[in-house]
Amino acid sequence: MAISLIAGLGNPGPDYARTRHNAGFWFLDTLAEAQRVSLRAEPKLSAEAAKANIGGQSVWLLKPTTFMNRSGQAIQAALSYYKLAPEDCLVVHDDLDLAPGVARLKFDGGHGGQNGLRDLIQRLGHARFHRLRVGIGHPGHKDQVTPWVLGRPGAADEQAIRGSIDAALAVLPDVMAGRIDAAMQRLHSGGAPGPAQTPPRAR
């Protein structure tokens, strides 16, 4: 099944822009820049949105303007407004269980403590949507998770995270065309082109 909506998760506002929790927004901003489209406020969706064309296929890009724990509100509204099924959606989010520099594709499953996913799953009543998990690493103790995700990564970790975003962007045409298994194989094996062959990163 082809992807028609790509939603990045994060918190709005400059105070959160460079935090680990906004890795999903980093992906959306990089993708929008590469596609030369501008995200515009869509109050009815509680989000910023833009239409792009990837590999000859139209896709909506979405950045919720709610805070992370209400991300599902915007995504559910967009699915309804654009008349799409959850299976048509790719949700891009930070993931504590993956190291910086690692990105993984997944369909269905639990929320793993990610509050944006938690809200979306609760609103939909299921988890049958695609995810792109962008690794941010784990601080080592659960009591440190909140300041970790809401903190800025060091220079090396940020470079690694943005590198994994580049690698994910390189397999996106396969994802868009519904060739999820092929995209997974390339991304998970590290077979995607390196940063020099992918779109420039938004800063």
What are the tens digits of pLDDT across the range 104-148?
999 998 888 899 999 999 999 999 999 999 999 999 888 899 999
Confidence of residue 1 (pLDDT cuts 50, 70, 90): low
Identify whether 61 is part of a domain: yes
Q: How confident is the model at residue 157 (pLDDT cuts 50, 70, 90)?
A: very high
- How is the chain split among helix, strand and coil, in percent rounded to 5? 45, 20, 35
How far is residue 135's CA from residue 140's CA, in Å, rounded to a whole number?
14
Q: Which of 110, 118, 139 is nearest to 20 (CA)?
A: 139
pLDDT(194) > 60: no
At residue 179, φ and ψ (nearest 5 deg) are: -90, 60
The pairing of beta strand 5-8 with beta strand 57-64: parallel
Task: Please say if 21 is a catalytic residue.
Answer: yes
Q: What is the DSSP string of 165-176?
A: HHHHHHHHHHHH
Quickly state the pLDDT bin for 51 (edges 50, 70, 90): very high
Q: And the tokens for 140?
A: 């080592």
Work out whether strand 57-64 and strand 47-54 pair parallel, antiparallel, or are unpaired. antiparallel
Q: Is residue 39 part of a domain?
A: yes
pTM of the shown model: 0.90
When divided into structural domains, the chain yields a total of 1
Answer yes or no: is pLDDT of 190 > 90.
no
pLDDT at 191 over 60: no
**Cα 93-73-126 angle, rounded to 5 deg:** 70
**109: Cβ contacts below 8 Å, ≥ 6 apart:** 127, 131
Domain span at 108? 5-197
pLDDT of 192 over the 70 cut: no
61-73 confidence digits (pLDDT tens): 999 999 999 999 9
- Between CA 54 and CA 197 the distance in angstroms is 16
| 202 found inside a domain | no
Look at residue 31 and tell me if it is in a domain: yes
What pLDDT sits at residue 48? 97
CATH, residue 11: 3.40.50.1470
- Structural domain includes residue 203: no
